[in-house]
């Protein structure tokens, strides 16, 4: 299966949220990386058919998804960034309702709901009202609804936000297994989630797609640009102003291990480190970081 995004553009008045994006998605987990406002959610919404593109189109095995209509939506699972639900619903009501909307046979739906509740640890809260559940559990209900119809294309916008580390690991494993012959597109701020499971990544910035590739391919951009150095605690504030810090780890004895990205080692005693997606993210979105700091 192949989903082709062809020259997709979306404008809201004067603002261009997605600017001429082209991408071909094949089976496997795809990570969509970008800072806030990069256009990830808008792109996903257009892919899900919720937003009409200003121009461009999405093809599924050569057929325009807008023309496919119901057939396209039958292949689709979608979890938006903000998971909305009818406040009166219990988990059972909600999943049953969504199963009917997805056109599932009643018996199959019950089996599937049971299976997903088991995998996503929702069995205990099955009869509880969704509004009374924690944010993480609500998120899991959202994931369950997206996967009810065994979608061939699964679009998940920030699926791991609110999940605890154990839940995230279970979710990542579930997705890895699920994505064998399907397309899964995930956008998340938790870059490590993508690093573990995404076979390919697409990076967006200011509405444009700036790079696409496997994690290894993308990391080449920051190869030789990630360093660690031990810095006395007293110099930390100054260090943070001078370099793009990825992480800080207190090593005791009044010293902190600073991980940073730069074209060349800037701190005394710097050692080159193995690059990770998080380093790449900071390298690519340095401007956003500075703007946020301001």
Partner 1 sequence: MFRLEIKRLLKTRSTIVLAALALAASVFFAVNFVLDDGKSVESRAYLPYTNGLEAIAYLKGIFEDMGGYVTPERIEEMSRFCDEALSTYQSFDAMPEDVFDRYVANMEVLSRVSYGDSDYYQRRNESIEYTASQVPNEAVAEAAAELNSHVDEPFYWEYGFGSSDVGQTWNICLFVLCLIATVIAAPVFSQAYATGEDGILRCSKYGRGRLARTKILAVYSFCTALFLICAAVFSGILLLAFGPDRSSAQLKISQHVLINLNMNEALALFILSGLLTMLASISLTMWLSSMQANTVMVLVISAAALALPMFADHYLDYPVADWVRLLLPGGGTGLQNGMYYELSNLRFLAIGSFAIWTPFVMLAVPVVETPVFALLTRQTYIKHEA
The contact mask relative to partner 1 for 44-63 (x = CB under 8 A, - = no) is -x--xxxxx-----------
Per-residue tokens: 122:
């929702």
Residues 103-122 that bind partner 1 (CB under 8 A): 103
Q: Which of 87, 234, 252, 254 binds partner 1 (CB under 8 A)?
A: 87
Minimum gap (Å) between residue 47 Cβ and partner 1: 9
**Residue 244 interacting with partner 1 (CB under 8 A):** no
Per-residue tokens: 247:
């992480």
Per-residue tokens: 180:
């064998």
Minimum gap (Å) between residue 99 Cβ and partner 1: 9
Per-residue tokens: 172:
């990542």
Minimum gap (Å) between residue 125 Cβ and partner 1: 17
**Residue 76 interacting with partner 1 (CB under 8 A):** yes
Among the listed residues 226, 225, 264, 258, the one whose alpha carbon sits nearest the alpha carbon of residue 240: 258
**Residue 98 interacting with partner 1 (CB under 8 A):** yes
**DSSP string for residues in 79-97:** E-SS----TT-BHHHHHHH
Q: Which of 6, 37, 89, 273 binds partner 1 (CB under 8 A)?
A: 89
Measured CA to CA, the distance from residue 31 to residue 106 in angstroms comes to 33
CA distances (Å), origin 131, targets 14, 16, 193: 37, 35, 26
CB of 98 or CB of 277, closer to partner 1: 98
Minimum gap (Å) between residue 46 Cβ and partner 1: 10
Q: Which of 93, 114, 150, 240 binds partner 1 (CB under 8 A)?
A: 93
**Residue 285 interacting with partner 1 (CB under 8 A):** no
Measured CA to CA, the distance from residue 226 to residue 220 in angstroms comes to 11
DSSP β-bridge partners for residue 5: 23, 58
Among the listed residues 83, 108, 105, the one whose alpha carbon sits nearest the alpha carbon of residue 94: 83
SS3 103: coil
Q: At what angle do helices 91-101 and 106-119 cross, to 10 degrees?
A: 130
Q: Which of 28, 34, 53, 142 binds partner 1 (CB under 8 A)?
A: 142
**Residue 183 interacting with partner 1 (CB under 8 A):** no
Binding footprint of partner 1 on the chain (CB under 8 A):
45, 48-52, 69-70, 73-74, 76, 78-80, 82-89, 93, 96-98, 100-103, 142, 145-146, 149
């Amino acid at each position: 299966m192949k989903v082709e995004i062809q020259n997709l553009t979306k404008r809201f008045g004067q603002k261009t949220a997605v600017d001429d994006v082209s991408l071909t998605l094949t089976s496997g987990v795809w990570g969509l990386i970008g800072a806030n406002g990069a256009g990830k959610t808008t792109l996903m919404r257009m892919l899900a058919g919720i937003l009409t593109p200003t121009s461009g189109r999405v093809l599924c095995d050569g057929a325009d998804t807008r023309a496919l209509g119901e057939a396209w939506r039958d292949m689709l699972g979608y979890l938006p960034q903000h998971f909305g639900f009818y406040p009166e619903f219990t988990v059972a009501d909600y999943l049953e309702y969504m199963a009917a909307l997805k056109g599932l046979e009643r018996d199959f739906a019950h089996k599937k709901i049971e299976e997903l509740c088991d995998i996503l640890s929702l069995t205990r809260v099955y009869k509880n009202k969704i509004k009374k559940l924690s944010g993480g559990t609500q998120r899991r209900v959202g994931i369950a609804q997206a996967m009810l119809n065994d979608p061939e294309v699964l679009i998940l916008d920030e699926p791991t936000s609110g999940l605890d580390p154990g839940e995230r690991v279970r979710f990542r494993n579930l997705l890895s297994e699920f994505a064998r012959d399907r397309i899964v597109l995930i956008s998340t701020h938790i870059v490590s989630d993508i690093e573990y499971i995404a076979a390919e990544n697409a990076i967006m910035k200011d509405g444009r797609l700036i790079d696409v590739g496997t994690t290894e391919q993308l990391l080449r951009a920051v190869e030789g640009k990630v360093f660690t150095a031990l810095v006395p605690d007293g110099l930390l504030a100054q260090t943070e102003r001078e370099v793009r810090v990825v992480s800080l780890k207190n090593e005791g004895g009044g010293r902190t291990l600073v991980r940073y990205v730069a074209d060349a080692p800037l701190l005394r005693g710097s050692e080159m480190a193995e690059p990770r997606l998080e380093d790449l993210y900071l390298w690519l979105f340095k401007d956003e970081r500075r703007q946020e700091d301001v």
